[in-house]
Amino acid sequence: MATAVGRALARLEPLIVEAGTGTGKTFAYLVPALLSGRSVIISTGTRTLQDQLFRRDVPMLAKVLGLPVKVALLKGRANYLCRHRLELTLQQGSLLGGERGVAQMLERVSRWAATTPSGDLAELTDLPEQSSVWPMITSTRENCLGQECPQFSRCHVFDARRAAQAAEVVVVNHHLLLADLALKDEGFGDLLPGAEAVILDEAHQVPDIAAQFFGQVWSVRQVQILVRDVVAELAAAVVRSPAITGELSIVEARLDDLRGTFPGGAGRYEWANLPEAFLDVLPELETALGDLAKELEGLGAGAGVANCARRSQGLAASLGALGSVPDAAGLRWVEAAMNGLSLHFTPFEIADRLRGYIDARPCAWVFTSATLAIGDDFAHFASRIGLPDARTLHIDSPFDYRDQARIYLPRNMPDPQHPAFAARFIDACAPLLEASGGRAFLLYTSYRGLADGVAALKARFPEPPFPVLVQGEAPREALLTRFRELGNAVLLATGSFWEGVDVKGEALSIVAIDKLPFASPDDPLLKARLEGIRRRGGNPFSEYQLPQAVLALKQGVGRLIRDFDDFGVIVLGDPRLKTKGYGKVFLMALPPSPVITEAAAGAQFLTERLSRLRERLCES
Ligand code: SF4
């Protein structure tokens, strides 16, 4: 892998590498990247890997190689304090009096702001991610005043960008990289022009993130923040304008109409299913935002107010564009969540756009992950990122799956839709859980499945002989820490635990997956992709749904063996693996472990391995 990455870097070519767990892929791209002397961006899917690269791997390898490389960690705007907005918020203090806890938190932020050299909000460990303070003290691409800002010379956001531009290796995440490419939100568009190589680890996430950034989003929250900013900027400029107060109330009234005519609770809704009354409010809101922009423009009250005028005009224009975008290009949908409504347009295809960016300048693009291929076939991933002809490489995991693991496919499982499925799945796992004394992840493909699984486990083990943890009882990281500390827990979880989770050792000896992870066909985002494939005459199932589900299953299964000493049993409860023709596509993508169909064989394997481990521990 290192040789292939080195060649891609030398020739400025694209490369796609699937490197199985344990290959040391991080070193295999870092070493040639550091030796190349090129300026490199490394992009990751998770914050954990970003921190690991910046704090541990890159400095350590640079030292070993004797290369004094300048490294920078760059996060999105929303991670840095915006001094200007903090000042505006503090000036506006009396307006915030009603919000509980906000004043105290702002006081805390101000004290920290006076001393922090980086402005990185991660230093404020007691500021919750969902806190309403966050947008009051951070900037967006729209509301940043840039060079016109009175704080520009001491701005943390720009300081971090300058440091990144001066570095030879910049570590970012996929959101920031793609925002930069598409010039959206937190993006500046200045990261890539200076880069000679972009290495994307955890690259399986890239197509979905790209679809978000290459589409359009308009949210009620953006308008609410604009309204608050207008009030703050007028107060800061000591301007009173009854006309603007009037326009603000019209905008707020239209927002109320929008929420009032929205038909349902939290979830994603296709545009075509929205009521006329809701759609009728959109042009009215567009007009209200346009009128507000005109009034603000006419004031001539400084950079802050002028910025608000531009944003109001921009929000009117993007709302208008969303209302009139042709249905042939993508899918429009609305997301209702706790913090409001957002309107989206997702293009059917992102491959051409991504290809356009990749072709735009000479630069090596390396995509790598433990799950990119189906067997040796990279066609699905390569075509999604617009690089069907890119050089590819598959590196097998060095772990001995034949010895370290068993794949258990229980006999006589009912259809996944059968009401007894959840109980039968737990029945199939029970002898293994008893043999290993817990030490398991039970991974579900839906929240409904998870709830049924929790009930079934309780029914089978009214007084479980192992601790039981359930997703949602505590934040993800806290649950994982608890799982590692307990050493014999059983964790029941869905989606977010299928990837990026690394539990080494016997604390995780069983990974049981209830059903094949086909994405929900009701999700508008998935519908957009399937429709795109249909329109160009393709087969959505074989080109998208099946390969996506195979890659997701590989991710889930990959949680089990994380080291040379690990061992365990993978339980796959879905009978379609054997009854459907596509089942063999999944089976062929699994590690080459012996397949068993009797729980007793799995239980015996676990008992033997655990006692062998105990003997070894006693000897040492
Ligand atoms: S330049 Fe932008 S991010 Fe920096 S302090 Fe000013 S408004 Fe905030």
187 pLDDT band (50/70/90 cuts)? low
What is the CATH number that goes with domain 2-70+167-214+350-395? 3.40.50.300
The pLDDT of 390-416, averaged and rounded, is 95
Q: Would you say the CB of residue 27 lies under 6 angstroms from ligand 1? A: no
Say yes or no to pLDDT of 183 above 70: no
Mutational pocket test of ligand 1: of 75, 79, 80, 82, the residue with most ligand atoms within 8 Å of the beta carbon? 82
Say yes or no to pLDDT of 557 above 70: yes
Q: Would you say the CB of residue 151 lies under 6 angstroms from ligand 1? A: yes
Dist CA 196 CA 223 (whole Å): 38
Read off the pLDDT of residues 115-166 as tens digits, 9 standing for 90 and up.
999 999 988 877 776 678 888 899 988 889 999 899 999 999 999 988 998 9
The pLDDT of 35-58, averaged and rounded, is 91
pLDDT confidence of residue 250: 96
Is the fold of 2-70+167-214+350-395 the same as that of 216-347? no
Among protein residues, the one with the nearest Cα to ligand 1's atom 2 is 144
Which residue intervals of 437-557 are DSSP H helices? Answer: 447-460, 476-486, 524-535, 540, 546-557
Higher model confidence: residue 480 or residue 328? Answer: 480
Q: What's the mean per-residue pLDDT of the chain?
A: 90
Read off the pLDDT of residues 329-366 as tens digits, 9 standing for 90 and up.
788 889 888 768 999 988 887 888 889 888 887 899 99
Q: What is the pTM of this model?
A: 0.82
Dist CA 116 CA 120 (whole Å): 8
Mutational pocket test of ligand 1: of 151, 153, 229, the residue with most ligand atoms within 8 Å of the beta carbon? 151
Higher model confidence: residue 3 or residue 301? Answer: 3
The pLDDT of 82-109, averaged and rounded, is 78
pLDDT confidence of residue 329: 77
The partner residues of 269 in beta bridges, in order of sequence, read 334
The pLDDT of 323-328, averaged and rounded, is 78
pLDDT confidence of residue 362: 85
Within 10 angstroms of residue 409's Cβ, the number of other Cβ atoms is 19
pLDDT confidence of residue 568: 96
| The CATH homologous superfamily of the domain defined by 401-619 | P-loop containing nucleotide triphosphate hydrolases (3.40.50.300)
pLDDT confidence of residue 189: 67
Dist CA 574 CA 596 (whole Å): 14
In the reported structure, the alpha carbon of residue 80 is separated from the centroid of ligand 1 by a whole-number distance in angstroms of 10
Indicate the domain borders of the chain: 2-70+167-214+350-395, 78-154, 216-347, 401-619
Count, in order, helices (H) and strands (E) of the chain. 26, 18
Identify the CATH assignment for 216-347 out of 1.10.275, 1.25.40, 3.40.1130, 1.10.357: 1.10.275
Percent of the chain with pLDDT over 70: 97
Using DSSP, state whether 470 is helix, strand or coil: strand
